[in-house]
């Protein structure tokens, strides 16, 4: 049976990373330009990341370190996930 320590399990660490990125990206648009109050520069995202637009076709391969940035129709970030 694996050791489970509250607040230190892999699942919780993933949740913390997702929340950290949500705090940085929520409501902002991903852009090629510099990061500002309303935009976030695409080059400042982790190397393993992808921006997913509504209706986009994406692979279903699971990469736990990949950051998926989901954007709405208007281009603002709606949520993020790993995988």
pLDDT tens digits, residue range 24-68?
999 999 999 999 999 999 999 999 999 999 999 999 899 989 999
Give alpha helix (H) positions in 2-61: 10-25
Confidence check: pLDDT of 8 > 80: no
Confidence check: pLDDT of 10 > 80: no
Calpha distance 81→69 (Å, rounded): 7
Q: Which domains does the chain possess? A: 10-82 (3.30.10.10)
Contact between residue 68 and residue 49 where contact means Cβ atoms under 8 Å apart: yes
Confidence check: pLDDT of 1 > 80: no
Q: How sure is the predictor about 15, in pLDDT bands with cuts at 50, 70 and 90?
A: confident
Count of alpha carbons within 13 angstroms of residue 15, beta-carbon side: 7
Other CB atoms within 10 A of residue 39 CB: 16
CA 8 to chain centroid, in Å, comes to 20
């Amino acid at each position: 049976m694996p050791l489970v320590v509250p607040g230190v399990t892999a699942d919780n660490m993933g949740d913390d990373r997702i929340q950290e990125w949500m705090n940085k990206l929520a409501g902002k648009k991903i852009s090629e330009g510099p990061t500002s109050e309303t935009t976030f520069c695409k080059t400042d995202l982790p190397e393993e990341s992808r921006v997913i637009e509504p209706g986009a076709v994406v692979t279903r391969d699971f990469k736990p370190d990949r950051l998926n940035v989901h954007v709405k129709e208007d281009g603002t970030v709606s949520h993020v996930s790993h995988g």
